[in-house]
Amino acid sequence: MLGLRECRECKPVKLSPRAEEVGLFFAQMLDHEYTTKEVFRSNFFRDWRKEMNLEERTLIADLNKCDFGELHAMHKSKVEARKNMTKEEKQVIKDANQKIVDEFGFCLLDHHKERIGNFKIEPPGLFRGRGEHPKMGMLKKRIQPEDVIINCSKDSRIPEPPAGHRWKEVRHDNTVTWLVSWTENVQGSVKYIMLNANSKLKGEKDWEKYEVARQLKSRVGQIRSQYLEDLKSKQMVTRQRAVALYFIDKLALRAGNEKEEGESADTVGCCSLRVEHITLHDTLAGESCVVEFDFLGKDSIRYYNKVPVSKRVFKNLKLFMENKQPGDDLFDRLSTGTLNKHLSSLMPGLTAKVFRTYNASITLQQQLKELSNMSDSTAEKLLSYNRANRAVAILCNHQRAPPKSFDQSMANLQSKIDTRREQMAQAKRELKQAKKDAKESSDPKLMTVLEKKRKAVARCKEQLLRMEVQATDKEENKQIALSTSKLNYLDPRISVAWCKNLDVPLDKVYNKTQRDKFAWAVHMTEKDFEF
């Protein structure tokens, strides 16, 4: 029941099913800060009113007068009830879900049974883009069978639409990999159901991606000297292209396609950088020719970096910025299209994003070589691995929100370390005493006691080291997401070979899902693999 505030009282309103469903979406999100944002509220309210009947529309004219208290409470109690279910009740639900996965979660491709990545149609709800998205709060509508295109082979068992419905289309296109598609109403983009990352199809593509990046390894020297040469070109286009490439290569920036204004959050990549996104410093903190970057990239993640660049790049940037407004394009003669066309002429398959893959993987390989020692303990080796991984994540600007309980769990770990320190001091004292006792008497029992104490000290020491290493790792990782680079940029063969060479079990580096995804690499990689 929705409450509606009037002059004095708040009167309850029973909503029609359609209006209630959408109102409930809003009520469920009330704990989120974004439901207070004006853009979110007005988008939501506009779409909500579309779902109301005439009577409701007349009655409910102002979102600020709506009291979602009861609907919100209802939702909260549902969540609470779910949390408080018994083990058995939870198991029943889990079994039911598993049955759904078994029935709908797989398909047959070239006679292989393959897991589907996302086999469920996206449910309706309120759209929440990332960053300052102009469409936040809009209603994402329920998808009907009539919206859905099925793509399967001619001779396969075509899935039945739900009773009383029909599919939008059934097609047999083997040039694409998707099984189902539909058009989503908020952005008008096509959504797909595709295979899981552990499938043969995705694995082969992944392998190809890294092979292209490895080809770049042998050509990158030549390509670099060419774009450094191009910095001097008489052609403005060529110079802009050269500077953009310099950024893409050195800083691992994304290509930066044009975006339609007002359709999504204002974010940029290399080619779409604007004058306002960089500041030039002739000197800064003792270094000359420093470029200060400050812009929002993919997912509205901030990229902030101060980078010393070559004199020539610096001079070009000054030139590109001449007579321009802050909102003007830095590279006004350049587009991702022309940039990629140029790159593919230098090497087949070469595009801007290959540089990210290449630089990420080569950095991991170099860092691993530099940081890890055969004589280290496994914990120390893993710290080195994480540090190498982290160097890549920083290069690619992969960030995360610091975990909510970060400070608390850091403090907990620290106090555990302190306790262990005391234990070790105690153990050492006992060892000393045992040594003394053993010296003064020939009782063989004392020798076994001594041995025991010795082992206790060693155990303490090892545990302490492990915890200290863990603390360092955790602190350094506070705002950095390692998983994105691990999953998308680092040639898995580097990690597999490293594990083999340093005698580290692979499951310390890759969990089950990751081992499945990288099965191709696990099989083919020898100790001597070089990226």
Partner DNA sequence: GTCATGACTTAGTAACCTCTTG
Partner DNA sequence: CAAGAGGTTACTAAGTCATGAC
For residue 72, what are the CA distances in angstroms to 33, 48, 56? 15, 17, 20
**The total number of residues written for the chain in this structure:** 531
Residue 513 binds DNA (CB under 7 A): yes
DSSP SS3 for 302: strand
Q: Which residues contact 359 (CB under 8 A, 6 or more apart)?
A: 249, 252, 395
Residue 332 binds DNA (CB under 7 A): no
Choose the catalytic residue: 210, 227, 303, 489.
489
Residue 399 binds DNA (CB under 7 A): yes
Q: Tell me the per-residue interface mask from 179 to 198 with DNA, x by CB under 7 A, - otherwise.
A: --x-xx-xxxxxxx-x----
How big, in percent rounded to 5, are the helix, strand and coil portions of the chain? 55, 10, 35
In the region spanning residues 461 to 490, those forming contacts with DNA, defined by CB under 7 A, are 481, 483-485, 488-489
Residue 493 binds DNA (CB under 7 A): no
Residue 426 binds DNA (CB under 7 A): no
Closest CA to 69 of 136, 21, 4, 8: 4
- For 242, the token pair is 């050269």
The single residue among 69, 125, 145, 159 that binds DNA, judged by CB under 7 A, is 125
Residue 354 binds DNA (CB under 7 A): yes
* Choices 10-18, 36-44, 406-414, 518-526 (CB under 7 A): range interacting with DNA: 406-414
In the region spanning residues 275 to 314, those forming contacts with DNA, defined by CB under 7 A, are 297-301
For residue 117, the 8-state DSSP code is S
Taking the C-alpha atoms of residue 302 and residue 275, their distance in angstroms, rounded to an integer, is 16
Residue 335 binds DNA (CB under 7 A): yes
**From the CB of 145, what's the least distance to DNA, in Å?**
17
**From the CB of 7, what's the least distance to DNA, in Å?**
36
In the region spanning residues 81 to 120, those forming contacts with DNA, defined by CB under 7 A, are 82, 90, 94, 97, 117-118, 120
**From the CB of 30, what's the least distance to DNA, in Å?**
12
Question: Which contiguous run of DSSP H or E holds residue 191?
Answer: strand 190-193
* Choices 5-13, 204-212, 222-230, 379-387 (CB under 7 A): range interacting with DNA: 204-212
Residue 193 pairs with which residues in a beta bridge?
A: 180
Residue 344 binds DNA (CB under 7 A): yes
Q: Identify which of residues 50 and 90 has a Cβ nearer to DNA in the complex.
A: 90
Strands 287-296 and 278-284: antiparallel
* Choices 40-48, 216-224, 368-376, 392-400 (CB under 7 A): range interacting with DNA: 392-400
The single residue among 43, 238, 316, 357 that binds DNA, judged by CB under 7 A, is 357
Q: Are the C-beta atoms of residues 5 and 65 closer than 8 Å to each other?
A: yes
**From the CB of 396, what's the least distance to DNA, in Å?**
6
For residue 506, what are the CA distances in angstroms to 17, 226, 229, 494? 53, 40, 44, 12
The single residue among 3, 69, 131, 145 that binds DNA, judged by CB under 7 A, is 131
> Is 358 noted as a catalytic residue in this protein?
no
Q: Identify which of residues 184 and 430 has a Cβ nearer to DNA in the complex.
A: 184
Q: Which residue has the tokens 């708040």?
A: 10
Taking the C-alpha atoms of residue 270 and residue 255, their distance in angstroms, rounded to an integer, is 5
Closest CA to 23 of 58, 79, 63: 63
Q: Identify which of residues 270 and 457 has a Cβ nearer to DNA in the complex.
A: 270
**From the CB of 483, what's the least distance to DNA, in Å?**
7
The single residue among 8, 154, 234, 512 that binds DNA, judged by CB under 7 A, is 512
CA 246, 247, 248, 252 dihedral sign is positive
Closest CA to 44 of 58, 59, 24: 24
Residue 256 binds DNA (CB under 7 A): yes
In the region spanning residues 258 to 277, those forming contacts with DNA, defined by CB under 7 A, are 259-260, 264-265, 267, 269
Q: Which residues contact 210 (CB under 8 A, 6 or more apart)?
A: 357, 361, 491, 493, 531
**From the CB of 24, what's the least distance to DNA, in Å?**
14
In the sheet with 66-67, reading across from the earlier edge strand, the strands are 10-13, 2-5, 66-67
Residue 423 binds DNA (CB under 7 A): no
**From the CB of 54, what's the least distance to DNA, in Å?**
30
* Choices 39-47, 50-58, 250-258, 436-444 (CB under 7 A): range interacting with DNA: 250-258
* Choices 205-213, 238-246, 367-375, 447-455 (CB under 7 A): range interacting with DNA: 205-213
